[in-house]
Structure 1
Amino acid sequence: MNLLGNLIWLLFGGLIMALEYFVAGLLLMLTIIGIPFGLQAMKLGLYALMPFGSRVVPDPYPGGCINTLFNVIWIVFFGIWIALSHLFWGILLSITIIGIPFGRRHFRMAGLALSPFGQQII
């Protein structure tokens, strides 16, 4: 069932969101300062490709104030725009009954897009 959900997910905005994450990650990795943010974008891009069957849990080895600082920087420069993309797709998909599970997944990913540091995807 997870495979079918992931295939339908790719058609309903998942592929576009994953491409958004991958392009942003590659652009961020062009600078040394952007590498931690690019790695988070890549991690979120992989999650955007296959969200069904995966889950997000808090990191067992938290980074403390570094994660908080990076999350604040992420929210200001990147997270707001990515979260708005997820909200757009979530609202668009929630219009129909069939799209509600996919819209809910986009709403969950919007929260993750705001603060990815300190989270682990299993």
Structure 2
Amino acid sequence: MARSMLIISRQAPWAGPSAREALDIVLAGGAFELPLGLLFLDDGVFQLTKAQQAASLEQKDLTANLQALPLFGIDSLFVARRSLAERNLDESSLALPVEILDDAGLSTLINRYDHVITI
């Protein structure tokens, strides 16, 4: 039986390679049909915002990669309510459907997975 893995993505999409690396791990794991979840925490919530203008920062837009996640069997997407609130974001500002979790829900989520990787 495959071990489950939760990837916690904490970096903004334009803050370096971390956001892309987290997506690469998730997509690779999905290709091997591992039970995976992806949690956006802290500045990682900015990866989910609509109408990103990555080209103006000479970065690649991650939106297409994020929208491809269901094709790889990655349907478990989560975001921290506190991270959204601290950045003045709400569910309507997100480009993808995600499950929004409070602090207690985050703890439960993390304990549900066999392995947790923070990027």
Q: TM-score, normalised by structure 1?
A: 0.29
Which of structures 1 and 2 has the larger relative contact order (alpha carbons within 8 angstroms, sep 6+)? Answer: 2
Q: TM-score, normalised by structure 2?
A: 0.29
Structure with bigger strand share is 2
